[in-house]
Homo-oligomer: A and B are copies of this chain.
Amino acid sequence: MSKIENARTELVQILEKTEKGNSPFEREIRQLALPVVKAFVEGGRVAPAHFGDSSEALPENKEAAGVPAGFPGLYPVTGTRVLQAETVNRPQASGKRVAVLFSGGPAAGGHNVLVGLKKVLGPQNTLLGVKNGPKGLLEGKLFEITDEALANILNTGGFDFLGSDRTKIKTSEQFNQVKTVCHDQKVDALVVVGGDDSNTNAAVLAEYLFKNVHADGRGVQVLGVPKTIDGDLQEETLLPISFGFDTATKTYAELVGNILQDTPSSRKYWHFIKLMGRSASHVALEVALQTKPAVTFISEEIEARQYSLAHIIDIIARAVARRAGRGINHGVVLIPEGLIEFIPEMKRLIKELNEVMAASEKMLSEINTMADKKHFIYGKISPEATKLMASLPDEFENMLLLDRDSHGNLQVSQIPTEKLLIEMVTTRLHEMKTDPKPFFGQGAGQIDLKPEEVERFVKSKFASNNHFFGYEGRCGAPSRFDAAYCFNLGITAGSLVLAGKTGYMAAVTNLEHGGRALALPLTGLIHLERRHGKDEMVIEKALVELESPAFKFFNACRDRWSREDCFASPGPRQLWGPVSSQLPMTVALNQGYTGLHFDLGEEVKLV
């Protein structure tokens, strides 16, 4: 064999070993040390903390009427008082069997929650994994998690070690199933890693399993860990962010930054980019702060200011025209996934259509042509709704009339909002170019461009592209922040188990100065919310507040970002080197930090 063939054989052997999660990157990240909040360190090793009363409580407005009655076992114990990690009286429990499950969509860092749990539980307790989320819990699919298995998933992305699903545990039959599984498999505590709905579920489970699960009358402790890439599980300074948000936004921000860098390079496209986030626009806001694109929509603002679809088109068209007037025929528009549902008139329109179509389902099924269908429906909806429908491009008008889900609702997530906006902006720009007079000048609402700028705009071309970044951001390798944060959340949850607590969500705050571990009472997070026509006790989704420092900062910058290229490219997230310790900008702003670096204590070597 020739020298070159020998070399290839050597390389082939290296490459064959990269299968099944053994890329050069994955091999190295498993060696990364992680920082541990001071309260959890004793003699250079991870140790459980005691949790005692802090001086803080969850805001009173959360304590909705009905919650104490809904949680008769839990509420008197947990209430709204926040607990904090303390180094005195470290719990010494042993022999505990703790089960952990992932619930809902994956988020980066979940595996490190398991590592943190295992580390703090130590060999004197048992950590059990639940296969495939709540469904697996109902089916009793539990297995013991070993140190070896964890060494393999340390700092890796995804939820694949356990799997996840979206089953909601609601019926008393399901509650009994859980009780039976916990009884039969001698489970002392259950850790639910999930978003707002899953933590609501954890609260209800905590109440249900509060006592009398085991023969001696003991219950099963239930603890929650805050996960969601959408970032809508937050609680002021008591819960700065859910895990997974940082990795997701860093992943999207790199891609948006790359595309922004492309725009003045190829000088011909406007890119319309939809980002995950159906309910809240934290993701869009964070990505905007990191990248500074020309236009970013925040759903909460659109709802609060009652923007119409036409006004949204107007905002984009103005930005395009102003930039074209200055010779900049490119830009980026960021669109949160849920935008359509936050435009009040669209929301009303969709509601009217859903109602009419549900009421006339049979009749409609007998109408053959789309034209006749429209004629029928338009006779039954309000004039405003009819007018709005008529303003939509045909394709989207038709989309609104098709495909109801099993509950008779339009599947809004199926609507390609980014394409709808492109089509309507294209039409508007055509109008503006055909007859510029009404649009440009010094008058109210007019765009203040010089005549030669208007001329340049009229001659300019508008070419567009669209993207949707979603799944790409859920399962990436956790950023250094998410890796560290999750490890400490896991230690917090494990400490709470050892300290005998139930009905709390693990939280880590003070992210800039060493971290502070807290336990937030789930009963203090729950409030009453009207859903599908009845009151439900749920954890409220945290939306973007227009008065928050992050939004206000965005608001102060965006006109400048819209007029000219101000973009920055955040680059791929770094696990090593000088920019590996960066916090989300929205979090740093809202928490009142002085800088962008996190500090979660001293690093502890894990393998």
* Residues of chain A whose beta carbon lies under 8 Å from any beta carbon of chain B: 4-5, 7-8, 10-12, 14-16, 18-26, 28-29, 105-106, 132, 156-160, 163-165, 251, 254-255, 257-259, 261-262, 264-267, 269, 271, 289-290, 292, 465, 467, 471-477, 549, 553, 557, 560-561, 565-580, 582, 585, 588-589, 592-596
Contacts and interface: CB of A to CB of B under 8 A. Distances in A.
Nearest to A576: B577
A24 B596 contact: yes
A478 to B, nearest CB: 10
Given A25-B574, A477-B571, A566 B266 contact: no
- Top 4 nearest A-B pairs by Cβ distance? A576-B577, A25-B571, A4-B592, A572-B572
Given A259-B472, A266-B106, A475-B259, A25 B579 contact: yes
Contact of A572 (B7, B28, B477): B477
B474 A262 contact: yes
Nearest to A6: B594
Contact of A15 (B20, B254, B585, B592): B585
A453 to B, nearest CB: 20
Contacts of A105: 266
A560 B16 CA distance: 11
A545 to B, nearest CB: 15
Contact of A570 (B25, B262, B465): B25
Contacts of A5: 592
A398 to B, nearest CB: 14
Contacts of A566: 19-20
Contact of A576 (B271, B574, B595): B574
B573 A576 contact: no
Contacts of A576: 574, 576-578, 580
A293 to B, nearest CB: 12
B11 A594 contact: yes
Contacts of A24: 570, 579, 582, 596
Contact of A568 (B18, B106, B264, B596): B18
A343 to B, nearest CB: 26
A280 to B, nearest CB: 21
6 contacts: A24-B570, A105-B266, A157-B258, A476-B571, A571-B575, A576-B577
B572 A254 contact: yes
B474 A258 contact: yes
Q: Which of A132, A157, A261, A592 has the most CB of B within 10 A?
A: A261
Nearest to A2: B592
A7 B475 contact: no
Contacts of A16: 557
A283 to B, nearest CB: 15
Nearest to A256: B472
A445 to B, nearest CB: 28
Contacts of A475: 258-259, 261-262, 265
Nearest to A260: B475
Contact of A471 (B4, B132, B271, B594): B271
Given A572-B476, A575-B574, A471 B259 contact: yes
Given A19-B292, A26-B569, A10 B595 contact: yes
A576 B255 CA distance: 19
Given A21-B567, A23-B569, A571-B575, 13 more contacts: A15-B553, A18-B568, A19-B560, A19-B566, A25-B574, A132-B267, A158-B262, A159-B266, A257-B476, A259-B475, A262-B474, A262-B475, A467-B471
Contact of A571 (B29, B588, B593): B29
Contacts of A565: 20
